[in-house]
Amino acid sequence: MYLLSFFIFLTLFKAVLPGKLTPEENRKRLDTCGDRNLANPSNYKTWYWLAHRTDQQTNQRIDVSAASMISPRHFLTSSQTVLTNYKEWKLNKNISFSEKCIDGTNDTEVPQSVVADFKVTMFSCYGNPLLNQCSSYQIRPTRAFLLNMCNDYVRKQFMATFSPMLVEVEKIPEADSFDIPCLADSLEQSTRGMKANVLLFHVKFLATPKLENINQTIFRNFLQTIATKPWFNLDQAEGSPLLSEIDETITLLGILAAGSPYQSEDRSIVYPLYFRVAWLRNGLCDLAGICSERDLEERMTTTSSTSTTSTSSTKISIPNNPTTTHSEPENSTENGNSQDEYETFAFYMFREVEAREEDLEMNSKEKTNGSLKWELYLCLVSVLVNKNWFI
C-alpha cells in the first residue's frame, strides 16, 4: 500500500508545466532555504530581483515591481507590471483580459504575448545592464500566473491591490548557488506584535538602484493580507517582500500589495498592506511544485486515503462571505488574527476536494446567516402548523 501511495504521490508531482519543480528540487529548496544573510541582499547573486517592462518610445524601464526569487526558476511579484488597475494588459490592450481560471484553481494564466513584454532582472544588475556578468541575469519569463485571481477578495479589491503574480523562467545560470527565503505556510506564523522587515527598492534612470530595509511590526492579520506599522512611503514599493526570522530561518511572510494602504477604523491612520504568502499555497504548489512540508504531508495523506477507498471525495463547504473595505475589519481576536482565518484552515488541510469554493473574505456574516436560518425554520414550522400537517 505504501508503495502505491508513493507512486501516486510522484504522479501528482509530475511536471505538467515546463518549469515546475520536481520533488527532488523542491526537497532541496526546503532543506536549504532561509539563510540568515538573506535579510541584507547586497551580494552579487541575490534572490532580490525586479520585474519591469521597457517603454517602446523612450526605451526606459517602467512599471517596476520587486520580484522575490522563491525557487531556481520562479519569482513572486505584483501584477501591476503587466496590468492596469482596470484589468487591461498594459502593452497589449488589444488583447482582452479574461478571468477564466485554470480548472480546479483560483489562478489565471497570463497570455504568452503579454509574458513576452516584460523581464525579470537581478537587482544588482538593474543599474548595470551592460556588465558582462549581467547579460545572463536579465531574463524573459516563459510563463506567468495571476494567483487567486478568481477569488472574490482579489476581484473586488483589484483596483487598489492588484494581485500576486507567479513568474516562471526557463533557466537561471548557477541558480542552485542562490540563497532564497523560506515561504510561510501557516496562518499562525504571523501574529500581532511580531517583528518583521520590508525591503524596498529605489530605482531612478541612470542612477544606481538602492535597497532600504525598514523595521516593521505586524499590526493586523487577515486571511488574505497582513497589515504592519509604522507607515512608510509607498513610492516604488510594489511587490516588496516582508520577511521575518522564524525558527532561525529567514521566511517570506508576504509581498506588498500595490498602492493599497490599510486604514484604521476611524480612518485617521494608514498602514502598509501585504498579500499573505501562506494564502498562496495552493497556486504555488499546484503550478510551480513549490510545496511546503505541510503540503507534502497533506498530499501523502490524501493519496493514501484515495487509494484505499472507492467512495467519492469529501466535500468541504466554505461559506462565501462578502468583501468589505480595508477600513472596517471585524471579528478579530486579541492577537490580531481573524477568527475566520482559523475556521477555514481546513480548506488548506484538504486540497483534493471535488469543488473548491471561494475563500472566506475579511469580514463574516455568520451571525446574520445563523439568525436568518432560524427565522426561516420558525416560518416553516408556522406554515406547517397552520396547514394541520402535524395532525
Distance CA(275)–CA(78), nearest Å, equals 10
Distance CA(291)–CA(286), nearest Å, equals 8
**Contact between 238 and 78 (Cβ < 8 Å):** yes
Beta strands in 170-282 (DSSP E): 182-183, 195-202, 210-221, 225-229, 241-246, 249-256, 262-263, 270-271, 273-276
Please list the residues that pair with 76 across neighbouring strands: 68, 166
| H or E stretch covering 286 | helix 281-288
Report if pTM > 0.85. no
pLDDT per residue, tens digit, the chain (391 aa), is: 444 444 444 444 443 455 899 999 999 999 999 987 776 666 667 899 999 998 877 778 889 999 999 999 999 999 999 999 999 999 777 788 988 899 989 999 999 999 998 999 999 888 776 777 788 899 999 999 999 999 999 999 999 899 999 999 998 988 888 889 999 999 889 999 999 999 999 887 656 788 899 999 998 999 999 999 998 887 778 999 999 999 989 999 999 997 667 777 767 778 899 999 999 999 999 999 999 998 888 766 655 555 444 333 322 222 232 233 443 333 333 334 443 333 333 333 333 333 333 333 333 333 334 444 455 555 554 545 454 544 4
**Contact between 282 and 105 (Cβ < 8 Å):** yes
Measured on CA atoms in the order 340, 343, 349, 351, is the torsion positive or negative?
negative
* Domains of the chain and any CATH numbers: 24-282 (2.40.10.10)
